[in-house]
């Protein structure tokens, strides 16, 4: 999923201060799963902002909405009946949803309530970790199913570097050394000979090397 | 002979090579480079010039190499993949060669996290092994990494680093094999304090015949004090300092610790001279460059051969 | 402000604090009438939003009272509640309401005295802190801060 984290309240208060009526929009997809911007978080942020402005004695109205998906125009369309009743939109979705609202409602300010972080997986309750950078040319078949680009601090395609210590990364002992993980798995798979195949320099064009990316499925495109 | 590199000539002649390093200054004063390099005149075969070591901004390795070259010494250009993409690396390599710099070392580099610009993006367009492949392709095929022809290819003697002490240990020989496969000519190792473990690694190297394909220069760093020994043991990633090394230097009075450190490093050199596959020594006297001539002399490496 | 009577909301676990409140009652132990008890099946059921909304709707202080450490009827509801209270404290600090207005307590079903003392102490603490600043501004729109 795409993971995110709520911005500090100080920033959010600054963002919405110029406005009296706010539409706070959550998203039912990734940010719900990582507890950053789903229905629950929308309610909590709404409560916190209201309480803050009550304390300040500032008139402040907030309308809460949580869309099925903020990155799909069909769902964003659901905001139409409410958009004229507010001065700005505060979005709790990832950056994709924020931009979809900006695209649809050209004259309405839209503000991000979360910092979009990374594509990751849940390691355990309340913990998410980066797994994929979306490089556009998946090499997991060559690295035993563990991505060194996303998970090695130096994105070494031929690691590990000299800083790998007891399975941990030199940058932070909380980070597993990706190449230790790859090696352990190669061993478990009986494929250690694969380690000595040097992986060539990566072509970054499918990543972001050729500008913003787009997928067009002719069979589906309208 | 693949190149004009003095280091290559000495290694090919079968004599033990000696290299040392010079960390460029954090400023634009050429005298700082010249003073450090001057101390090494006549006692080493090449002077490694570090590339923003520990991810701190310093005078560029290339600029400092040129200053050293102008002094008539043999600089060894270190290049990390952290700060430059493949375009910048290749342009620096041909630029270096245009100044007669013909020996280099390909490294991934310390992570910016450790340096004075922790907010900097780490480039890592390619890794150190791919850098070796790239420099070899430039030299042997006369082609840029992208495949276009080079008008006047740089003939670099190509080095890389190896850390026999990092984990997983069982991978350390295999990683060297990858570098050999990539086309590396020589290796300078991490500082050796755990000599037993280094010898074990060399055993693995010989088992696979890698010592016949690459020259291995053993990394040596004299300890200045007990404090430094403890720091190296506890704070430097990938460093293996056994307890008895710390104990020994801590066991002598403070004023004699520096001499004890030198003695210890000379003993290591002496022991490693006889290890099959060790082709020379890389003496990294960190901020202690003036001790290098003494170490080289006491180790019996003087005078240096000339070609 | 002299006659300020704080409104306190206490989320009490059915298996411990709520029973302790009963115990306090049957022992005729006095505790302030300011404390409005909400019975919950486990403090693990109390979300951040419950504490926040209690405050937004006029409470001056909120506390969550669950089982002693290791004694949760549902294994770890009380430890979850403790973490949520910590989260809400931080959030309240960030929005200028003050994290001191929420607290987590633990007790067993038999601790009637502890229940009564906790209720009294917390009420006194909130009395000292004064009314919930969000409520003050609402009640007196003319003299709003800022």
- Could you report the predicted ipTM of this complex, rounded to two decimals? 0.93
DSSP A203: -
Of B271, B269, B223, nearest to B247 by C-alpha is B223
- List of domains in chain C: 8-143 (3.40.50)
Q: How many CB atoms lie within 10 A of CB B190?
A: 22
Q: Which CATH number fits domain B6-298: 3.40.50.2300, 3.20.20.220, 3.30.300.130, 3.60.10.10?
A: 3.20.20.220
pLDDT in tens, A119-154: 999 999 999 999 999 999 999 999 999 999 999 999
Q: Is A51 on the interface with C (CB under 8 A)?
A: yes
Is a pLDDT exceeding 50 seen at residue C146?
no
If pLDDT is split at 50, 70 and 90, which confidence band does A50 have?
very high
Which of C59-97 are b and which e, b meaning 16 or more Cβ less than 10 Å from the residue's Cβ?
Answer: bbbbbbbbbeeeebeeeebbbbbbebbeebbebbebbbb
Give all chains having 3 or more CB-to-CB distances under 8 Å with chain A.
Answer: B, C
CA–CA distance, A116 with B215 (Å, rounded to integer): 48
Q: Are residues A110 and A143 in the same domain?
A: no
* Res. C120: pLDDT tops 80: yes
Range of the domain at A190: 137-209
Q: How is the beta sheet containing C8-13 ordered, strand by strand?
A: C35-40, C8-13, C61-66, C102-106
For residue A127, being part of any structural domain is answered with: no
In a domain, A77, yes or no: yes
Per-residue pLDDT at C145: 40
Of B108, B109, B126, the CB nearest to A201: B126
Q: Residue B29: what pLDDT?
A: 98
Residue A37 has pLDDT above 70, yes or no: yes
Q: Which candidate in A15, A16, A17, A47 is best for mutational testing of the C interface (most C CBs within 10 A)? A: A47
Q: Is residue A112 domain-shared with residue A152, that is, in the same domain?
A: no
User: Does any domain span residue A157?
Assistant: yes
Whether residue A113 sits in one domain with residue A204: no
Q: At what angle do helices C112-129 and C17-26 cross, to 10 degrees?
A: 100
| Tokens encoding B100 | 């007669």
H or E segment to which residue C117 belongs: helix C112-129
> Which residue stretches of chain B have pLDDT < 70?
none
pLDDT-based confidence at residue C137 (cuts at 50, 70, 90): confident
The answer to whether A52 contacts C47, with C-beta atoms less than 8 Å apart, is no
- Least CB-CB distance to A57: which of C91, C96, C145? C145
pLDDT more than 70, % of chain C: 93
Asked if residue A82 and residue A148 are part of one domain, the reply reads no
Do A146 and A174 share a structural domain? yes
Chain A residue numbers touching B111 (CB-CB < 8 A): 153-154, 163, 170-171
Touch between A and C (at least 3 CB pairs under 8 Å)? yes
- Across the interface, whether the CB atoms of B166 and A165 are under 8 A apart is answered yes
Q: Is residue A102 domain-shared with residue A150, that is, in the same domain?
A: no
Q: Which of A61, A84, A117 is the last residue of a domain?
A: A117
| CB spacing of A57 vs C144 below 8 angstroms | yes
Verify that A76 and A141 share a domain, yes or no.
Answer: no
Total domains present in chain A: 2
List of chain B residues whose C-beta atoms are within 8 Å of the C-beta of residue A159: 127
In this structure, the answer to whether residues A27 and A60 fall within a common structural domain is yes
DSSP secondary structure string, B236-296?
A: STT----HHHHHHHHTS-GGGHHHHHHHHHHHHHHHHHTSTTEEEEEE--TT-GGGHHHHH
- A106 lies in a domain? yes
* Subunit contact B111:A163, Cβ cutoff 8 A: yes
| Domain range summary for chain B, segments of one domain joined by + | 6-298
In a domain, A142, yes or no: yes
Average pLDDT estimate for C99-120: 98
> CA B17, B21, B25: angle at the middle one, nearest 5?
165
Q: Which chains touch C (3 or more CB pairs under 8 A)?
A: A
Q: Kindly state whether residues A176 and A113 are assigned to the same domain.
A: no
Chain C interface, best mutation among A54, A66, A113, A127, by max C CB count within 10 A: A54
Cα B93 from Cα B88, distance rounded (Å): 9
B82 touching A (Cβ < 8 Å)? yes
Alpha-carbon gap: B82 to the closest alpha carbon of chain A (Å): 8
pLDDT at position B307 is 80
pLDDT given for residue A217 in this prediction: 97
Q: Work out whether the CA dihedral B223, B226, B228, B229 comes out positive or negative.
A: positive
pLDDT in tens, C49-80: 999 999 999 999 999 999 999 999 999 999 99
pLDDT at A190 over 90: yes
Q: Which CATH number fits the domain that encloses residue A34?
A: 3.40.50.2300
Provide DSSP, B50-91: -SSGGG---S-HHHHHHHHHHTT--EEEEEESSS--HHHHHH
In a domain, A216, yes or no: no
Domain end, chosen from A88, A117, A146, is at A117
Query: Residues A150-169: what's their mean pLDDT?
Result: 95
Residues A100 and A156 in one domain: no
Residues A81 and A144 in one domain: no
In a domain, A123, yes or no: no
A107 and A143 both lie in a single domain: no
């Amino acid at each position: 999923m795409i993971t995110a984290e709520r911005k500090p309240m100080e920033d959010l208060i600054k963002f919405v201060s110029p406005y009296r009526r706010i539409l706070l929009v959550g998203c039912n997809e990734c940010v719900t799963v990582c507890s950053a911007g789903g229905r629950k978080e929308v309610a909590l942020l709404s409560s916190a902002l209201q309480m803050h402005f009550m304390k300040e004695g500032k008139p402040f109205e907030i309308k809460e909405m949580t869309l099925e998906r903020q990155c799909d125009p069909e769902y964003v369309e659901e905001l139409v009946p409410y958009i004229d009743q507010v001065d700005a939109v505060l979005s709790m979705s990832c950056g994709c949803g924020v931009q979809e609202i900006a695209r649809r409602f050209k004259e309405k300010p839209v503000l991000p309530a979360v910092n979009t972080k990374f594509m990751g997986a849940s390691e355990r309750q309340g913990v998410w970790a980066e797994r994929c950078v979306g490089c556009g040319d998946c090499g997991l078949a060559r690295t035993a199913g563990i991505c060194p680009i996303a998970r090695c601090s130096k994105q070494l395609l031929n690691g590990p570097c000299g800083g790998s210590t007891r399975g941990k990364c030199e940058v932070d002992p909380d980070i597993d050394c990706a190449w230790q993980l790859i090696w352990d798995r190669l061993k478990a798979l009986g494929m250690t000979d694969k380690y000595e195949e040097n992986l060539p320099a990566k072509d970054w064009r499918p990543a972001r090397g050729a500008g913003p990316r787009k997928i067009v499925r002719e069979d589906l495109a309208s | 002979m693949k190149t004009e590199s003095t280091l290559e000539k000495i290694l090919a002649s079968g004599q033990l090579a000696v290299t040392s390093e010079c960390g460029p200054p954090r400023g634009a004063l050429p005298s700082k480079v010249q003073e450090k390099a001057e101390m090494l005149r006549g006692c080493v075969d090449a002077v490694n010039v570090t590339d923003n070591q520990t991810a701190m901004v310093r005078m560029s390795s290339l600029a400092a190499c040129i200053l050293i070259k102008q002094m008539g010494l043999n600089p060894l250009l270190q290049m990390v993949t952290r700060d430059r993409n493949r375009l910048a690396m290749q342009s620096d390599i041909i630029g270096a060669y245009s100044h007669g710099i013909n020996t280099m070392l390909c490294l991934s580099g310390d992570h910016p996290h450790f340096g004075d610009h922790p907010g900097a993006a780490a480039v890592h367009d390619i890794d150190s092994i791919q850098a070796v492949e790239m420099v070899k392709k430039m030299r042997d095929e006369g082609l840029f990494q992208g495949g276009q022809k080079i008008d006047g290819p740089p003939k670099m003697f190509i080095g890389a680093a190896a850390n026999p002490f990092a984990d997983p240990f069982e991978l350390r020989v295999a990683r060297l094999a990858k570098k050999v496969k990539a086309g590396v000519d020589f290796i300078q190792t991490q500082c050796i304090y755990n000599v037993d473990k280094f010898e074990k690694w060399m055993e693995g190297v010989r088992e696979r015949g890698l010592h016949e394909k690459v020259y291995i220069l053993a990394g040596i760093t004299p300890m200045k004090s007990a404090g430094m020994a403890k720091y190296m043991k506890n704070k430097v990633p990938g460093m293996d300092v056994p307890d008895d090394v710390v104990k020994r230097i801590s066991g002598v009075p403070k004023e004699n610790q520096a001499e004890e450190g030198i003695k210890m490093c000379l003993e290591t050199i002496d022991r490693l001279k006889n290890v099959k596959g060790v082709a020379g020594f890389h003496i990294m006297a960190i901020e202690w460059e003036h001790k290098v001539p003494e170490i080289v002399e006491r180790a019996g490496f003087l005078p240096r051969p000339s070609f | 402000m002299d006659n300020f009577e704080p409104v306190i909301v206490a989320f009490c676990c059915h298996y411990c604090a709520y029973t302790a409140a009963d115990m306090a009652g049957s022992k005729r132990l006095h505790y302030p009438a300011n404390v409005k008890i909400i019975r919950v099946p486990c403090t693990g059921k109390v979300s951040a939003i419950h504490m926040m909304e209690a405050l937004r709707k006029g409470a001056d202080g909120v506390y969550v009272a669950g089982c002693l450490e290791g004694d949760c009827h549902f294994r770890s509801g009380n430890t979850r509640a403790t973490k949520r209270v910590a989260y809400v404290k931080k959030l309240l600090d960030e929005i200028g309401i003050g994290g001191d207005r929420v607290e987590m307590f633990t007790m067993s079903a038999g601790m009637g005295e502890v229940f009564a003392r906790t209720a009294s102490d917390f009420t006194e603490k909130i009395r000292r802190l004064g009314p919930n600043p969000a409520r003050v501004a609402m009640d007196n729109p003319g003299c709003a801060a800022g």
